[in-house]
Chains A and B, each alone.
Chain A
Amino acid sequence: MRTALRLGLSLAFAAALAGSAVAATVMGEAQAPKDVSFSFEGPFGTYDRAALQRGFQVYNEVCKNCHSLNLVSFAALTEPGGPEFTDAEAKAIAASYQIPADPNKQGQTYDDKGNRLTRPGILADHFPPPFPNEEAARATFNGALPPDLSVIVKAREGGPQYVYSILTGFGQNPPKGFTVVDGKYFNPYFAGWNISMPPPLADGAVTYTDGTKATLDQEAHDVVTFLTWAAEPKMEQRKRLGFEVLVFLTVLAGLLYLSYRRVWKDAH
């Protein structure tokens, strides 16, 4: 860290000496995220329930192959303010995932071939990660680590718009003079422009069970809605309670103001 600080200071010093301004567009500097709007924005915004369920489908069929969702439980899928799957639906979703099993009667957690023993998931389980550990993930992806998606929307400057822009920002031609690193992909919304993730979504990447046309834009929009819920599952409750609290405080402030005026009437 000391070197980083020193580096920062010397860079700043050099910049001051040279009197140079950083140019507006620099090679590799992330583009501002696309201006796309979502149902959950604003003080009364809520999650579009159908978009959450479709977004879950996108995660479940595409993202989960590489990205974990460690902090989210299957039970959360049924809770109010979320995708609100029925208990039966959520149980079926849980059962479609394999969870590392407790030791069996012989005390084993691995079979004779060294494979981890598993059991179908239940509501109390969290989404299991696609790889047993970080090293296994990195070994599969040429050294890159797909980040956990539980709070990804809150962990990135730009939030939902940023994640949406990354998902839909592939397929453009890099500007002249910029070389895409071998094994990486060009995405101008990603800092450095070289992203290890191949384009995850495309038109028709999923077949929506509710019949919605699965365009790239639709898929990205839906999965970002789902991931925003995953990061902020209590948002609807929060905004509702906030409204009640503010109404209460406004009334209280009004009464206090009248008391204040009355008490001070004769004081000046």
Chain B
Amino acid sequence: MSGPSTYTPSNGFTRWLDSRLPLLRFMNDTMVTFPTPRNLNVWYTFGGILTFCLAVQIVTGVVLAMHFTPTAAGAFDSVENIMRDVNYGWLIRYVHANGASMFFLAVYIHMFRGLYYGSYKAPREVLWILGVIIYLLMMATAFFGYVLPWGQMSFWGATVITNLFSSLDQVVPHMGTAIAHWLWGGFAVGDPTLNRFFSLHYLLPFVIAAVVGLHIWALHVPGNNNPLGIDVKGPQDTLPFHPYYTVKDAFYMVLFAMLFAVLVFYAPNFVGNPDNYTPANPLATPAHIVPEWYLLPYYAMLRAVPQKLLGVLVLFGAIATLVFIPWLDTSKVRSLRYRPMLKPFFWVLFFDCILLGYLGSQEPQATTNVFGLELSDLLLARIGAIYYYAFFWICLPVIGLIEKPKPLPQSIAQAVLGSHAAAAAE
């Protein structure tokens, strides 16, 4: 779909450069003339928004690192110094802290969009898997970053998550504990842990940037999927990326930035946990340890399993499952617009993830009133976790085989412009 390059150097210098390093040709072909399906809707603007999020996090993060002290004795106070005495430090820190939430909000929309329109199917399996790798790296980076302010939730969150590895003791005695000690650099979360988490928190975003490069490369080989889920059949189905999608992406990016700004300037601690404004204290466990909101569904699944090792496996299996989706889905049709049987299951999955997120935020022994029935959160979390797995491992393969899809439109141009105009465009 990338097709032959249409770039023509316009002057002597660009001709000279083009025969040595075709950088301008590359930029022209990927960001200007790149043929893009003409029917991409608002949900396709989140790729650009995510790139924006990554850039914001790296720029603000580099500045924060200039003022941050990665020691147990100094971390909390250095963050407060940023908030009080560094010029606009409060702004940089609030943008960075809330930027993580906005990043995850965007990535979840991006992922559900990919699921809905079947963007993971051939020939985009590698593109999808690279996305899962980015998501995994994002979760690791966010976790390391959350530890750095060295508040109570930083410390105890780090303790809970690193202790997941000690469940491996049940496989090989002492192995899990040994791994946990190795991760901590000691016998508990402490100074060495904070210091190495800082190092990794600085490293991983650049790894993410590299994988994002691969992700975009893998996107540009087959080209974008689209809401109809049918292949591009010719130039009448596409528009050049610039100006059509640059202006569309820019408009929605600014709307996203407005939501971001409302959070940063008017509710900067809304997504945070008050306990993280209390300095880390290894001798006082908070009453209720919770991860950040974007990890809550996994936390609910972890707690839904009474056996620790199994719980950890369920947690990591939930993420690993995403890698197999391209082969679990047996349907030839990509977009759920034409898959009447799978569509309701998709929406149940969507609300299942929100339910699991809610359950993850509640205390483990809590109950929830469902249509007048007082159900234990544990029971709900188990149902939610089972549905999550069942959607991918049962619904996707089985429904793909038995479903009768709706008829697909003949081409993007026909569906968008009507058959008459499409014929004229050809």
| B374 pairs with A21, CB closer than 8 A | yes
A36 within 8 A of B: no
Of A114-122, A195-203, A257-265, the stretch lying at the interface with chain B is A257-265
Instruction: Using A1-B156, A21-B374, A155-B278 as known contacts, say yes or no to A263 and B38 having CB atoms under 8 A apart.
Output: no
Instruction: Using A22-B365, A239-B266 as known contacts, say yes or no to A1 and B160 having CB atoms under 8 A apart.
Output: yes
A1 to B287, CA, bound (A): 12
| B265 pairs with A16, CB closer than 8 A | no
| B364 pairs with A8, CB closer than 8 A | yes
A151 to B258, CA, bound (A): 28
| A12 pairs with B364, CB closer than 8 A | yes
Residues of B within 8 Å of A88, CB to CB, are none
Chain A interface residue count, Cβ-Cβ cutoff 8 angstroms: 53
| B251 pairs with A256, CB closer than 8 A | yes
B379 within 8 A of A: yes
A150 to B279, CA, bound (A): 12
A151 to B364, CA, bound (A): 29
| B247 pairs with A242, CB closer than 8 A | no
Annotate B387-400 by CB proximity to A: 1 below 8 A, 0 otherwise: 00000000000000
Instruction: Using A9-B303, A13-B378, A242-B265 as known contacts, say yes or no to A151 and B159 having CB atoms under 8 A apart.
Output: no
Residues of A within 8 Å of B90, CB to CB, are 234, 237-238
Of B14-22, B113-121, B269-277, B349-357, the stretch lying at the interface with chain A is B269-277
A252 to B303, CA, bound (A): 46
B77 within 8 A of A: yes
A234 to B379, CA, bound (A): 45
Instruction: Using A1-B156, A5-B163, A263-B247 as known contacts, say yes or no to A242 and B261 having CB atoms under 8 A apart.
Output: yes
Residues of A within 8 Å of B306, CB to CB, are 9-10, 13
Restricting to A211-268, which residues have a CB under 8 Å from any CB of B? 231, 233-234, 237-239, 241-243, 245-246, 249-250, 252-253, 256-257, 259-260, 263-264, 267-268
A243 to B264, CA, bound (A): 11
A34 to B377, CA, bound (A): 29
Q: How far is the CB of A143 from chain B (nearest CB, A)?
A: 13
A2 within 8 A of B: yes
| A245 pairs with B261, CB closer than 8 A | yes
Residues of A within 8 Å of B278, CB to CB, are 147, 155
B248 within 8 A of A: yes
Instruction: Using A246-B261, A268-B417 as known contacts, say yes or no to A12 and B376 having CB atoms under 8 A apart.
Output: yes
| A239 pairs with B265, CB closer than 8 A | yes
CB nearest to B377 among chain A residues: A12
A49 within 8 A of B: no
Residues of B within 8 Å of A239, CB to CB, are 265-266
| A268 pairs with B248, CB closer than 8 A | no
Residues of A within 8 Å of B365, CB to CB, are 8, 11-12, 14-15, 22
A154 within 8 A of B: yes
Residues of A within 8 Å of B159, CB to CB, are 1
| B254 pairs with A16, CB closer than 8 A | no
Restricting to B334-384, which residues have a CB under 8 Å from any CB of A? 363-367, 374, 376-379
CB nearest to B380 among chain A residues: A16
A144 within 8 A of B: no
Restricting to B284-311, which residues have a CB under 8 Å from any CB of A? 285, 287, 289, 303, 306, 308
B80 within 8 A of A: yes
Residues of B within 8 Å of A107, CB to CB, are none
Instruction: Using A238-B268, A249-B261 as known contacts, say yes or no to A16 and B379 having CB atoms under 8 A apart.
Output: yes
A32 within 8 A of B: no
Residues of A within 8 Å of B316, CB to CB, are none
Binding site for A on B (CB under 8 A): 38, 77, 80, 83-85, 90-91, 94, 156, 159-160, 163, 166, 239, 243-244, 247-248, 250-251, 254-255, 257-258, 261-262, 264-266, 268-269, 274-275, 277-278, 285, 287, 289, 303, 306, 308, 363-367, 374, 376-379, 416-417
**Closest A-B pairs by Cβ, 4 of them:** A242-B265, A155-B277, A12-B364, A256-B251
